[in-house]
Structure 1
Amino acid sequence: MNRKNVFFIALLMASASLPAQNGKKWTLNDCINYALDKNIQLQQNKISLLESEEDVKDAKAALFPSLSFSTGHNIVNRPYRSNSATVNGTEIISSDSKTTYNGSYSLSAQWTLWNGNRRLNSLKQQKKNREIAQLTVEETENMLKEQITQLFIQILYADESIAINKGTLEVSKATYERGKELFNEGSISKADLAQLESQVSSDQYQLVTSESTLRNYKLQLKQLLELDGTAEMELELPELSSEHVMEMLPSQIDVYQTALATRPEIQSGKLNIDNAKLNISYAKGGYMPTISLSASTSSTTNNSSQNNWAQQMKYGWNNMIGISLSIPLYDQRQNKSAVRKAKLQYSTSQLDLMNQEKELYSTIEGFYLDALNAQQQYAAAETKVKSSQTSFDMVSEQFNLGMKNTVELLTEKNNLLSAKQELLQAKYMAILNRTLLNFYADQEIKL
């Protein structure tokens, strides 16, 4: 494959991974899937998972013997020895030369037969650590899904808030134009006209603020997706009706029971307890004897010998096999401290799990109460918006006829704007918390 083809394929892959670059709008699922593929923190956790898999392999390899080869080569100078002799048929290496060369070759093996099951417990611990690392990846994925969902719904809120502020600004401009006509007719004072003009500026400021809030939410979303902050990103924002707001909430007890069985942070806490138990057994192994088996084969050569290299290797060849027993008698309290610390860590891991379960229940209860309150507020806000709209329409009509003053008109207008904002806030608070409740109940995130 030539360089042009490689470049073309890489370009296609890069463009396929970025919906915004080919004109496609980003949906909530697009954002979540892209973040799961590109988020730096998640990638770091996946690397830690790979490292834990290597630790498991190391622990397995520790069950088997080790084998090593060593060789040494030395140049020796003997300035005062110049004779040679043979004693009981064994040649004493010496030479007239002051400098000689000798070499050694050794193949050795070591195998720990038993050490209080510490190797087996270590292997079990590393397997638990690998499972914990996998759960950490899943926990980070869940965190990203929650954060992206929250930002996406905040963007929906900000976008609809902009629409409300634009409508309010248009009403203010139309009212100001009508005010100028009434001023020219002498129906209102210059101070009243100035108030209407000031209201236009205030509404313009609110629109700019809401647009800035939307840009800030989009920037936070880009950062979670590891996108350039200056890159164009067009979102596909669904229209959510009141039916989405008032959907029945799942039982918080059912959600909690499901979350206890499925949430990775809870499963990780349970594995930490299992690991702490294994650590106690591992620490107790320090009191046990260690039995090791060793074997080696080796030979030496020397250039001052009358035998050639092959003969020296043959006649100098020796084999060794041995077994050793090590019994700890006094270790300056190291094993006792290790066991006590392991037991304390076990108690800590149990308390950590209890705290995680408590925090999980508090989180779910918070979602439930916030969703329930938001639904009730939404129902009340709908009625308030209708009555405020009716009141504003009547006062606006009377103002145009010169029957109401500026203060009364602006008061009704602000009341209407406040009611719309309350309705909008309750709407998306209910949708967000219900969506997260369903997610903790092990359902896919969808709007």
Structure 2
Amino acid sequence: MKQRSLFLIATMALAMQAGAQEKKQWTLDDCITYALEKNIQLQQNRLSLQETEEDVKSAKAALFPSLSFSTSHNVVNRPYQEQSATVSGTEIITSNSKTTYNGSYDLRAQWTIWNGGQRLNNIKQQQTNRDIAELAISTTSNTLQEQITQLYLQILYADESVAINKGTLEVSKATYERAKELFNEGSISKADLAQLEAQVSNDEYQLITSESSLRDYKLQLKQLLELDGTAEMDLVIPTLDETKVMQLLPNQQDIYQAALAQRPEIQSSKLSIENAKLAISSAKAGYLPTISLSASTSSMTNNASQNNWAEQMKYGWNNMLGVTLSIPIFDNRQNKTAVQKARIQYDNSLLSLTNQEKELYKTIESLWLDALNAQQQFAAADSKLKSSQTSFDLVNEQFSLGMKNTVELLTEKNNLLSAQQQRIQAKYMAILNRTLLDFYAGEPIKI
């Protein structure tokens, strides 16, 4: 009996340990690492990269000769001929049979020796496309990290907002209980009591709303991580050092220059320009001659021949070696159109780079200004919160003594709640924008 009890206790302990292991607590680093591995768009980008690598191999293989073997076998029937003569290799075969069988065997090689450098340019283009596909992975990765960081900090903000609303509700309930005592004593009217009761209901509603926002942000984060929406997600809520909120912002121009040097979307646009240059060279090669070399060896057989199959293959065997020179003279403007379109694409790629650079500067400028504004708002909200807290404490104490009315108390309470919400909003906005500024400057995301 004792052994059985020990076994049950051990089993329950193992089950509890397994449950504790399954319930993972997610940090921001955990979320980013998981998303970079599981995100569907990133997986699709990696598959696109594999396709471009195959294109590079195919372009390189085009430098080498091609080799093919073909054979054909035919049954020929001449219903109205008494006698027929056919040439099989070097042999003239005469047959009285109306139906004959013949076969041919051909081994052929083809090699383009020179075509204006189109093949070499194609290799470079495919290699550039591969690099662009690799940068597309980095671009998606950066976007994903930014989205996760925004949602994670929104969750932290929502969680702190829930805590504030819970505290506000507790204060409202305590005030309402004290008001009932004052009402029984005849110090306040029934209308005043009703106002305080309504305030409790309003604070309960605000708490439910903030909890709903928190659940919604968590759901968005789970969707971004490709997690099941019904699964529990327990986030690690770090204690953020508020001194980071007021840290001196880095120079805006320094961030921009660092971002220009390493952001993948900028590098991708530069590679697109190089690709467009190669496309112009390839299009111009269409005006140049093409030189190709061909070689073949073949033989034929016919069942009407007096020679056996081996002799027919031997005497019908012939080899061929040829050089072809193809010079374009008039091509209905095909080459000129190709060159012009390649130049247009080059101009368009230059504009795309300029647009990317402007968008990058606009993003950094917006983040910098938002961070600066949030710092200033945090400083003002922090001062406002201290004075609002002092004012509310005094009015609440005076209300308990019957020296202040309900309207004055509720006004101070709402001012306090507003100051609390403004402070945490400015706090997380400052942290978010500062974190993203550091990320654009090339530093890893860290809060």
Q: TM-score, normalised by structure 2?
A: 0.93
1:125-161: CA deviations, max 9, x gaps? 1111100000000111111111001110110000000
Identical residues among aligned pairs (%): 75
1:397-428: CA deviations, max 9, x gaps? 11111111111100000000000000000000
Question: Is 1:294 matched up with 2:294?
Answer: yes
The equivalent residue for 1:278 is 278
The equivalent residue for 2:266 is 266
The equivalent residue for 2:110 is 110
Please give the alpha-carbon distance, in whole angstroms, between the structure 1 residues aligned to 2:221 and 2:249. 27
The equivalent residue for 1:8 is none
Tell me, yes or no, if the aligned pair for 1:94 and 1:304 is still in contact at 8 Å.
Answer: yes
After TM superposition, give the deviation of residue 90 of structure 1 in Å. 5.8
Tell me, yes or no, if the aligned pair for 2:82 and 2:96 is still in contact at 8 Å.
Answer: yes
Please give the alpha-carbon distance, in whole angstroms, between the structure 2 residues aligned to 1:91 and 1:83. 16
The equivalent residue for 2:160 is 160
Question: Is 1:170 matched up with 2:170?
Answer: yes
Please give the alpha-carbon distance, in whole angstroms, between the structure 2 residues aligned to 1:86 and 1:367. 85
Please give the alpha-carbon distance, in whole angstroms, between the structure 1 residues aligned to 2:162 and 2:90. 102
Please give the alpha-carbon distance, in whole angstroms, between the structure 2 residues aligned to 1:28 and 1:86. 83
SS of the residue aligned with 1:41? helix
Tell me, yes or no, if the aligned pair for 1:161 and 1:210 is still in contact at 8 Å.
Answer: yes
1:219-269: CA deviations, max 9, x gaps? 111111111111111111111131121122211111111101000000001
Tell me, yes or no, if the aligned pair for 1:82 and 1:94 is still in contact at 8 Å.
Answer: no
The equivalent residue for 1:323 is 323
Please give the alpha-carbon distance, in whole angstroms, between the structure 2 residues aligned to 1:153 and 1:187. 46
Please give the alpha-carbon distance, in whole angstroms, between the structure 2 residues aligned to 1:91 and 1:237. 92
1:294-315: CA deviations, max 9, x gaps? 1111111111211111111111
Please give the alpha-carbon distance, in whole angstroms, between the structure 2 residues aligned to 1:423 and 1:76. 95
Equivalent positions of 1:10-409 (< 5 A) are 22-83=22-83, 91-409=91-409
SS of the residue aligned with 1:169? helix
Tell me, yes or no, if the aligned pair for 2:176 and 2:193 is still in contact at 8 Å.
Answer: yes
The equivalent residue for 1:6 is none
After TM superposition, give the deviation of residue 81 of structure 1 in Å. 3.1
Tell me, yes or no, if the aligned pair for 1:85 and 1:91 is still in contact at 8 Å.
Answer: no
Q: In the superposition, relative to structure 1, how do residues 85 and 366 fare at CA in structure 2: closer, same or farther (>3 Å)?
A: closer
After TM superposition, give the deviation of residue 354 of structure 1 in Å. 0.7
Tell me, yes or no, if the aligned pair for 1:81 and 1:95 is still in contact at 8 Å.
Answer: no
After TM superposition, give the deviation of residue 21 of structure 1 in Å. 6.5
The equivalent residue for 2:3 is none
Higher mean C-alpha displacement, 179-188 vs 45-54: 179-188
After TM superposition, give the deviation of residue 38 of structure 1 in Å. 0.3
Q: TM-score, normalised by structure 1?
A: 0.93
Q: What letter corresponds to residue 399 of structure 2 in structure 1?
A: F
Please give the alpha-carbon distance, in whole angstroms, between the structure 2 residues aligned to 1:175 and 1:71. 99
Please give the alpha-carbon distance, in whole angstroms, between the structure 1 residues aligned to 2:95 and 2:423. 105
The equivalent residue for 1:418 is 418
For this pair of structures, how many residues does the alignment match?
A: 428
Tell me, yes or no, if the aligned pair for 1:108 and 1:294 is still in contact at 8 Å.
Answer: yes
Provide runs of 4+ in structure 1 moved above 6 Å. Answer: 84-87
After TM superposition, give the deviation of residue 94 of structure 1 in Å. 3.9
Please give the alpha-carbon distance, in whole angstroms, between the structure 1 residues aligned to 2:138 and 2:270. 15
Tell me, yes or no, if the aligned pair for 2:132 and 2:271 is still in contact at 8 Å.
Answer: yes
Tell me, yes or no, if the aligned pair for 1:292 and 1:323 is still in contact at 8 Å.
Answer: yes
Tell me, yes or no, if the aligned pair for 2:287 and 2:328 is still in contact at 8 Å.
Answer: yes
Q: What letter corresponds to residue 102 of structure 1 in structure 2?
A: N
Tell me, yes or no, if the aligned pair for 2:83 and 2:98 is still in contact at 8 Å.
Answer: no
1:197-223: CA deviations, max 9, x gaps? 111111111111111111111111111
Please give the alpha-carbon distance, in whole angstroms, between the structure 2 residues aligned to 1:94 and 1:211. 99
Q: What letter corresponds to residue 281 of structure 2 in structure 1?
A: S
Please give the alpha-carbon distance, in whole angstroms, between the structure 1 residues aligned to 2:360 and 2:85. 86
SS of the residue aligned with 2:26? coil
SS of the residue aligned with 1:445? coil
SS of the residue aligned with 1:239? coil
After TM superposition, give the deviation of residue 74 of structure 1 in Å. 1.1
Question: Is 1:430 matched up with 2:418?
Answer: no
Q: In the superposition, relative to structure 1, how do residues 111 and 91 fare at CA in structure 2: closer, same or farther (>3 Å)?
A: closer
Tell me, yes or no, if the aligned pair for 2:83 and 2:97 is still in contact at 8 Å.
Answer: no
After TM superposition, give the deviation of residue 85 of structure 1 in Å. 6.8
Please give the alpha-carbon distance, in whole angstroms, between the structure 1 residues aligned to 2:72 and 2:185. 113
Q: Which runs of 5+ in 2 are unaligned?
A: 1-18
Higher mean C-alpha displacement, 73-82 vs 298-307: 73-82
Tell me, yes or no, if the aligned pair for 2:90 and 2:316 is still in contact at 8 Å.
Answer: no
Please give the alpha-carbon distance, in whole angstroms, between the structure 2 residues aligned to 1:29 and 1:279. 42
After TM superposition, give the deviation of residue 82 of structure 1 in Å. 3.9
Q: In the superposition, relative to structure 1, how do residues 22 and 52 fare at CA in structure 2: closer, same or farther (>3 Å)?
A: same
Q: What letter corresponds to residue 112 of structure 2 in structure 1?
A: T
Q: What letter corresponds to residue 45 of structure 2 in structure 1?
A: N
Higher mean C-alpha displacement, 305-314 vs 74-83: 74-83
Tell me, yes or no, if the aligned pair for 1:20 and 1:233 is still in contact at 8 Å.
Answer: no
SS of the residue aligned with 1:188? coil
1:306-354: CA deviations, max 9, x gaps? 1111111111111111111111111111111111111111111111101
Q: What letter corresponds to residue 189 of structure 1 in structure 2?
A: S
